[in-house]
Structure 1
Amino acid sequence: MKLLIFSFLLLATFSCSKPNVYTSFSVSETNGISRDMEYIVVEWEMRTKPDKDSNFSISGNDGNRVGQILKIVHNNEKYKVTGLFPVSIEANQIKNYFITALDSEPKDTLLIKGSNFDLNIENNHFIADLTKNTFNTDSSLTAGQLHTLSIKNNSNTQLKRTGINMHWSPNFQSTGREYRTSSHITKLSYASVETGRYLTTLVKEGKVPDYPEITIKTCYEFFAGIPYFIYSSEILIEKEIELYLLRNDEMTLDSIFTQLVYPDPKQGVLTQPLYDPSTFNELKYNPIKHDAPWLSFFNPELQLGYGCIRLKYNNTNLKGTPSPLYIPHTKITAVNSDGGRYWNRRLIHEKNTTVPSGSRYYEKNAYFVLNNINDPVVAINSLLECIHNPLKVDYH
């Protein structure tokens, strides 16, 4: 699976007289951005198949760092191994490394509790609870969708939406049928949970009750030491259907944030009060674009933010032409009964719309936490710079 924030590299085999050295390479920072914690993906070949839990390290003049094996592929009597390794590097610096079968102390690791999709995943920034939401009156909600996100700050702030999951998109509805979300997937055609010290991935593919025409694919990727996780989803229409509502990139939260921050193509970055009626009046006539590159909720008093960087957004159908949309935009919604607020991307906005077989809707987003931050725009721009300018790896 392609991770946009990392380097995906062509294989190069390295011959070396040292025992247990499999390849050597250099890591270059070419964009003038110091990286305290970032990952690289490295590939090498072996004549004997390693165990998936085998320890391999990158070794250089700044010591050894153990990695995580992502994939092993048999190829022409050899085994091609793909590994994930953490690095730290200064702006415009080049570091040289080699891969060796060496156990070493990891810098940061994920702490995983639970089994299958009923997991709590913890790094040094937050704890993601993906367990089944037992407080929801809808007993059909399944595990494996973000229930709450607990931030590691002085008050241990918990992001949540009372009564439902805080994240359960994509979601949709047809007139005369129940509203359904990715938390309603009960008929799985594929499921995978891959846990590891640096990366844990949860993948689902299946259908929800009452909508046999639609297949949903979802994937969470959680990383150690990084203040965001990545989520991607795909909606595939297998048989023509009429939808009244279709959306993705939805996060729904209780009343903890007070500001909305987002880029406008004409006015630049805007900060709007999240509980002022004038904000919703403005957004009614000038909504956030459906392809806006990012947006965030923020609380300046708590110096806390939560938002989304949109890495990929593609509505091309299986024939390579556009899938139907109706008034696509990003909507900020106020739940007046209890003060909740949420953002969501409307693909089909409250109008019965025929969606032909083969239509497809894809998203890939990085959901980030801003903690102890005075200026959210500066912090978000720093994240954007790192994500869109990955480190360069060159094999020797």
Structure 2
Amino acid sequence: MVKLYPTDLKVQGMAPGLQIDNSKMSVILHPNSGHLDEIRLKSKPDAPLYHRLETNGAMHWNPDVYVPPRPWSHTADWKPPRNISTVAGSIIARSDVWDDMREVPEVDASVRYEFYPGVPYFVSSTTMRIKESVQALALRNAEMVIKRELITHAAWYDIVSDSVIIYDVAHMPDLTDLKMEADVPWIIFFNKEKGIGFAGIQLNYSNASVESSLRLLNPFFYITAGPWIYWARGLSHTFTSSNMQQIVPVLKGSIFSEKWAYLIYETDKTAEPYTPVVEWQKRLTNPLRIQLVEEVDERVSKTLQEIFMDEGKSGWEGRDTKRH
């Protein structure tokens, strides 16, 4: 008999364009790419956050790579991705999409979302792999884009000054870049009038290479604005530098990965608009630790047996290899 665990976590729609709801929030994934398209806090149903302006219009755009003269390619440009996997349960709902980057088959990427019951956040994991070296003007990840009119302020924790910076982005000139460290622990967009905030909490960030020297150029995090406002990680991003035509090789075997929690919350219930984010960041970066203890049949051998690669001594001659 199957035991059921009813919760408030619900999934509906056809993948990749799912809608995921719990008691705290509602999330809509883009029907073409399966990327975050809209998020709404249930306690503020009249203040949804979305983008829907440039190209694919999704909120979550990355990973991405720009290899001129080919077009700038984002995972959010998939129509649809070649691979789609969905888990819809009462404890966790998960959406996985992965494919080569459009117009750049030398690079492939994956995007995973995990949703849980009763919490106002979801977890996103992204990976980008360089299968063959490319010459790029931009290599980015962790980009979140929101329609400009929906946001009045940004905030982030500055690890250099050990302080929180709050910035009025409503009056920020177009294409102004606000830069911060690559390991910024959290970053927020919020609307002061509507009392709604959207936060990214960084859980893990890794760059590695299998067969080449890792090639980055001043990795950083930044905010910029136009008809939209977005934050993103520049892994190698000369396109926004003073030398906008400098091509940087991204070498075969390089792997870039991120893991973030994205939180939607009310900013007008605490003394500071970032207070709930600090509290959630402490919880999410210090999770409950779980260890699986397996039941083992008594007939299973307790003697270790190993098959060695080459002939010769093992070093275990004359020793008892039985577990006690």
Q: Secondary structure at the match of 1:357?
A: coil
Root-mean-square deviation (CA), in Å?
Answer: 2.4
Indicate whether 1:207 and 2:155 are aligned.
Answer: no
Q: How many residues align structurally?
A: 279
Separation (CA, whole Å) in 2 of partners of 1:317 and 1:294: 26
Separation (CA, whole Å) in 1 of partners of 2:78 and 2:192: 37
Separation (CA, whole Å) in 2 of partners of 1:282 and 1:341: 11
Higher strand share: 1
Which residue of the other structure, out of 196, 208, 225, is the alignment partner of 1:304? 196
Q: Which residue of 2 aligns with 1:367?
A: 262
Q: Note closer, same or farther for the CA distance 1:281–1:206 as it changes in structure 2 (3 Å cut).
A: closer
Structure 1 residues not aligned, in runs of 5+: 1-49, 57-65, 67-105, 133-141
Which residue of the other structure, out of 149, 158, 178, is the alignment partner of 2:39? 149
The amino acid of 2:280's aligned partner reads: L
Are the aligned partners of 1:170 and 1:247 in contact in 2 as well (CA < 8 Å)? yes
Shift of 1:257: 1.8
Separation (CA, whole Å) in 2 of partners of 1:395 and 1:165: 38
The CA deviation string for residues 7-46 of structure 1, in whole angstroms up to 9 with x for no partner, is xxxxxxxxxxxxxxxxxxxxxxxxxxxxxxxxxxxxxxxx
Q: Secondary structure at the match of 2:119?
A: coil
The CA deviation string for residues 243-290 of structure 1, in whole angstroms up to 9 with x for no partner, is 11111111111122211111112321111111244898683xxx2112
TM-score by length of 1: 0.65
Shift of 1:184: 2.6
Which residue of the other structure, out of 126, 129, 137, is the alignment partner of 2:28? 129
Shift of 1:334: 1.0
Separation (CA, whole Å) in 2 of partners of 1:291 and 1:385: 15
Separation (CA, whole Å) in 2 of partners of 1:213 and 1:199: 33
Q: Which residue of 1 aligns with 2:321?
A: none
Separation (CA, whole Å) in 2 of partners of 1:260 and 1:246: 23
Are the aligned partners of 2:220 and 2:233 in contact in 1 as well (CA < 8 Å)? yes
Q: Note closer, same or farther for the CA distance 1:241–1:197 as it changes in structure 2 (3 Å cut).
A: same
Which residue of the other structure, out of 289, 292, 296, is the alignment partner of 2:184? 292
Which residue of the other structure, out of 118, 135, 142, is the alignment partner of 2:17? 118
Shift of 1:189: 5.8
Shift of 1:197: 1.4
| % identical equivalent positions | 25
The amino acid of 1:376's aligned partner reads: P
Are the aligned partners of 2:145 and 2:229 in contact in 1 as well (CA < 8 Å)? yes
Which residue of the other structure, out of 344, 351, 356, is the alignment partner of 2:232? 344
Q: Note closer, same or farther for the CA distance 1:251–1:393 as it changes in structure 2 (3 Å cut).
A: closer
Q: Which residue of 2 aligns with 1:55?
A: 3
Indicate whether 1:259 and 2:149 are aligned.
Answer: no
Structure 2 residues not aligned, in runs of 5+: 240-245, 294-324
Are the aligned partners of 1:220 and 1:231 in contact in 2 as well (CA < 8 Å)? yes
